[in-house]
Amino acid sequence: MLGPIVRSVDRLWWARTIARSGLVDREFYAAQLGLRWLPRSAAIAHYVITGFRRGMSMNPLFDDIVAGGELPEVMRVPALYAYLLSERETVRIHPWWDAEEHGRRIGGPALEHVWSRRDEALRLSAADRETFLTVAEIRRSAIASARSWRRHRIPAVGAAPAAETGLIRPLQARDRRYARKLEQVAARASTARGESVVVPLVGVDSAQWISAHLLTRIAPEVVLHAHARRAPWTRVLREATVQLPATTVVALDPRAEFTDAEIDALLQAVDDDHAVMPAHRSQDGTIHGVGAAETGGRSPWGVLAHHPVEDLDALDAVVTVPLLHGRSVALRRTTLLGVLEDDLPATTTALARALRARVGVRVLTSVRPVYDEPLHVFDEKVAGPRGGGGEQDRGVASAFLDIAGYDVRSWRPAPDGSVEPVLRWRRPHPGAERWAIKICAPAGRQGAVWGDMHFARGLASALRRRGHTVVIDAFDARGRRTAYLDDVNVVVRGPYRIDPLPTGVNLQWIISHPDEITRGEISGFDRVFAASERWSRLARERWGIPVTPLLEATDTDLFHPRGIPRTDEIVFVGTARGIARPSVVAPLRAGIPVRVYGPDWRPFISQSAIAARTLSHSELPRRYESAAIVLNDQWPAMRRHGFIAMRPFDVMAVGGRVISEDVDGIDEVFGGAVLTYRDEEHLVELLRAEPDEIFPDPSTMARISERVRREHSFDARAAVLDEAAAAHRRPAEGDDRGHSAQDRADAAL
């Protein structure tokens, strides 16, 4: 009952704040609605109710999608509202105008400054190219673009110059990474590279459309095409290829980001007899298909589809496959035009089958971009011709599976209309097992920065040193179709619940969010571990289920001393988590400088304290070792239940110094080398002291650091997990090691 009332109050407050800003351009907003005029109040109301979710903006110099990447809660609140409540001069608000630099120059928020000076010329730049337009000129351009956006389709803009290579880079609706892709396009179309570029805009949002058209004022070589959201891919591809005067072209799937090196690799691998594609990964991180094969179904089977990406490692760098799979492909332009000019049904499958008659298809197995978002565009309703019986392609696919370490036992229909193999994993040596580590992080670039992913990689390396094959499943792949091949499943329980699988030995390792764990969740596992002595004991007493303490660990491959001199910097690394974390806010409030590395801190601390929004995992050891002090705090539930975070283990492993919130057992684990504070006042007191006087002497610190690397490494934890898995293997006929995953899978067939 209260939900609608709260939302209405929120919207009224958003509208009131925006109305007071003086940044509302009602003519610009009306143009996005296909209107010539709109009352200011109606424009604001539409924006706060629905417009901001559709990428619409209230001001032509404020790109909601770009600004939203800098601001908190952007999916819940309008980006313009969040901007008005932030340190405005520090927020990136436009893809081509550097408002931050402008703000530093004038000493205040740039948008408010220039909006009242319509004749001021602004520098617009992309990929080291620039042009100057007045605010009035940018506004007129934006209004004209907005009106054409409402018509959904306009003629192609510009003409691509002739070049040796050409790029087709579609943008789709809801793409929040579009500015990075356009920046890359501008760089590749520059004189230095001399690449022909066409950008099909397929059902894109208002901000994407307007910014793409403004980019052509900076990089006029970039050609834009407009298409409705349900336009067939083959038509989009044909119209772009016709306008692309290049010998070799590459078309990229709109869901994925590619590095320049990956694009170049695809282009360089093309010859007259072959098209080339990447080894795309699905949104859940599993293999989308190493090409495809006609195996007897109405749709081709994506070779190694639904397998973890680690299965690509056994293949050659370049492999030949029967069919193209997906929308990313590099090939000769004449070949592509020849296929597209045929009477071709409008599906990717039909295109792949037609292409097969002209050239072979190769896959670069080291180019593994992830579909970072769903496909929001293209119409695949028209059926293509049915494939053949599949015996020849099954032989080719079986050869791939053999190289990857699998034996084909049979073939069966799959839900997508293909026919897929039923496999048995072939053990590379006696004693080897196939382990799957399942984590709560998403796949792709987003999940790469999660601590859970780094945790899993450290554990995987340790298990491989014990002779096992190890794969890592992102959260959405936790129940992938090929999980029946795995002997042991290790669920690393973070913020989300992951249930045990019906096959294999199931181990659970609880490392966070203990307050959300229930008896029902842990009761289905063969063995349960928790990163807290205290919580493990209480769980045993309360639920009568054996829970074994297994603390977090450090990856000693990465975290070890390098002899880096210490600075005087106090460092914190981590996200704000949507709260004013006391280990950061309290020192800054007391005037103690803290260098903060992490996202989402804008609402809580001064921008001047944010050293960087990201810090690569490979840089952490140097940062920890060189810091005078590294600060650490815990999730409140973790602190209450005695869960020690991973950071103290990593810092101590490199010989660094940590001040942390007090957690049950932390003094015993680190032998007093990690200092703890009782409250904010105590933390400030410790930070004002001389570090050499409050921490143990260097020789003691070095001895404790060595012990942490020895006793609390992932190698030590892997030994415990390996022993637990061995104790819970179920005997199987003909296999005295009893690998239950294969046995249960066989029984289900």
Residues 6+ apart with CB under 8 A from 545: 519, 522, 523, 528, 539
Residue 549's pLDDT band (cuts 50, 70, 90):
very high
How far apart CA 138 and CA 707 sit, in angstroms, is 62
Residues 6+ apart with CB under 8 A from 138: 60, 61, 97, 122, 124, 214
Residues 6+ apart with CB under 8 A from 208: 55, 65, 171, 173, 175, 178, 201
Cα–Cα separations (whole angstroms), residue 348 to 234, 291, 303, 397: 7, 12, 16, 20
Residue 634's pLDDT band (cuts 50, 70, 90):
confident
- Quick one: which H or E segment has residue 132? strand 129-134
Third-level CATH fold of 570-711:
Rossmann fold (3.40.50)
The residue assigned the tokens 């990857």 is: 404
Is 207's pLDDT higher than 60?
A: yes
Return the SS3 of 556.
Answer: coil
Backbone angles phi, psi at 620, to 5 degrees: -60, -45
Structure confidence at residue 151 (pLDDT): 74
pLDDT in tens, 489-507: 999 999 999 999 999 999 9
pLDDT in tens, 9-61: 889 999 999 999 999 999 999 999 999 999 999 999 999 999 998 889 999 99
How far apart CA 353 and CA 269 sit, in angstroms, is 21
- Domain layout of the chain by residue ranges: 2-116, 148-393, 434-549, 570-711
Cα–Cα separations (whole angstroms), residue 50 to 11, 32, 618: 10, 13, 41
DSSP alpha helices (H): ranges in 415-507?
Answer: 444-448, 451-465
- Tokens at residue 137, please? 């000129």
Backbone angles phi, psi at 265, to 5 degrees: -60, -40
How far apart CA 581 and CA 594 sit, in angstroms, is 13
Beta bridge partners of 632: 660
Domains 148-393 and 434-549 alike in fold: no
CATH of domain 148-393: 3.90.550.10
How far apart CA 631 and CA 634 sit, in angstroms, is 11
Is 308's pLDDT higher than 80?
A: yes
**Cα Rg of the chain (Å, integer):** 28
Percent of residues in the chain assigned helix, strand, coil, to nearest 5: 40, 20, 40
pLDDT in tens, 582-620: 899 999 999 999 999 998 888 789 889 999 988 999 999
- Tokens at residue 409, please? 């036992």
Among 70-74, 103-107, 379-383, 561-565, where is mean pLDDT lowest?
379-383
Q: CA triplet 670, 554, 521: central angle to 5 degrees? A: 100
With beta carbons less than 8 A apart as the criterion, state whether 509 and 632 touch.
Answer: no
pLDDT in tens, 517-541: 999 999 999 999 999 999 999 999 9
Longest dimension (CA), the chain: 84
Pick the closest to residue 62 from 20, 34, 21, 15 (CA basis).
21
The mean predicted confidence, pLDDT, of the chain is 92
How far apart CA 258 and CA 269 sit, in angstroms, is 16
Residue type at 524 in one-letter notation: G
Beta bridge partners of 414: none
Reported residue count of the chain is 749
How far apart CA 145 and CA 207 sit, in angstroms, is 10
Count Cα atoms within 13 angstroms, Cβ side, for 721: 33
The arithmetic mean of pLDDT across residues 353-380, rounded, is: 93
The arithmetic mean of pLDDT across residues 151-168, rounded, is: 77
Give 155: exposed, middle or buried? Use CB within 10 Å, 0-12, 13-18, 19+: exposed
How far apart CA 204 and CA 510 sit, in angstroms, is 42
The pTM of the whole model exceeds 0.75: yes
Say how many C-beta atoms besides its own lie within 10 A of residue 749's C-beta. 9
- Quick one: which H or E segment has residue 597? strand 595-597
Beta bridge partners of 123: 132
Q: What is the C-alpha end-to-end distance of the chain, expressed in Å? A: 49
How far apart CA 237 and CA 226 sit, in angstroms, is 12
Above pLDDT 70, what percent of the chain? 94
Third-level CATH fold of 434-549:
Rossmann fold (3.40.50)
pLDDT in tens, 271-305: 999 999 999 999 999 999 999 999 999 899 999 99
Pick the closest to residue 54 from 254, 204, 190, 261 (CA basis).
204
Q: What is the DSSP string of 149-193?
A: HHTS----BS-PPPEEEEEE--EETT-TTHHHHHHHHHHHTSTTT
Say how many C-beta atoms besides its own lie within 10 A of residue 699's C-beta. 8
